[in-house]
Amino acid sequence: MMKKTKFLAALLLILGGVALRLLMVEFLRIPNLEVVTSFSLIAGAMLGGIFTFVVPLSIIAVTDMYIGNTSILLFTWSAFAIIGIFGFLLKKRKSFNFRFVGEMTGIGIISSLFFYLYTNFGWWLLTGMYSYTLQGLTQCYIMGLPFLRTNLLGNLLFVPFFTSLALLAWKYYPAFRLSKLLRIKYDSFR
């Protein structure tokens, strides 16, 4: 029963992540405004295990077939897998409540900074767009600041929103009520 529930939750996260990422790319067209971080953190924190990686990599793989990617594909894909691990760090919690939403939002901020530092390093390393010096790396990071700003704003909005939705589904939708199976105490919403 628990495996089916986790699989269903992962499938819903993947489908939702794919749909939202494609909608945002097609209609909003704001570079680096993305929902993948939210879904990566939720998969890691609430599902754990293999879903920590399957959910974000599935969203990226499916949407990149439409959107495309750049020469730093290895860096962007692995960044979202690592962000899933950030969410997994909260997996050992004894309860999920709105304090958890705040913790996830904090990890969303850290994830934005990590994604910026990691993928811009990849851009500097692989594209040849900047000189392979400390000055070139610094210039690459400076040029990436607008993308960081957008990513950070998106995570400040999307991480708490989607985490709250996931908590509501987890608490109130019978298929996701794992408290008896996992012996996790779900605190009341405050």
Residues 6 or more apart whose CB falls under 8 angstroms from that of 150 comprise: 30, 31, 32, 33
Tokens representing residue 164 in the block: 């709250």
Cα Rg of the chain (Å, integer):
17
Residue 183 DSSP SS3: coil
Q: Where are the alpha helices (DSSP H) in 24-133?
A: 36-42, 51-67, 73-88, 98-127
Q: Decide: 41 and 104 in contact? Cβ < 8 Å.
A: yes
Q: Which residue has the tokens 């009341």?
A: 188
Amino acid letter for position 148: L
Looking at the predicted structure, is the pLDDT value of residue 123 above 60?
A: yes
Q: What is the pTM of this model?
A: 0.86
Report how far residue 93's alpha carbon sits from residue 10's, in angstroms, rounded to the nearest whole number: 19
**pLDDT given at position 134:** 97
Looking at the predicted structure, is the pLDDT value of residue 174 above 80?
A: no
Q: Which of 126, 129, 130 is nearest to 76 (CA)?
A: 126
For the residues of 1-50, what is the DSSP string, one character each?
-HHHHHHHHHHHHHHHHHHHHHHIIIII--TT--SHHHHHHHIIIII-TT
Percent of the chain at pLDDT > 70 equals 87
Q: Which of 71, 153, 72, 84 is nearest to 112 (CA)?
A: 153
Q: Decide: 105 and 159 in contact? Cβ < 8 Å.
A: yes
Q: Decide: 147 and 123 in contact? Cβ < 8 Å.
A: no
**pLDDT, tens digit, for every residue of 144-155?**
999 999 999 999
* Domain locations in the chain as residue ranges: 2-173
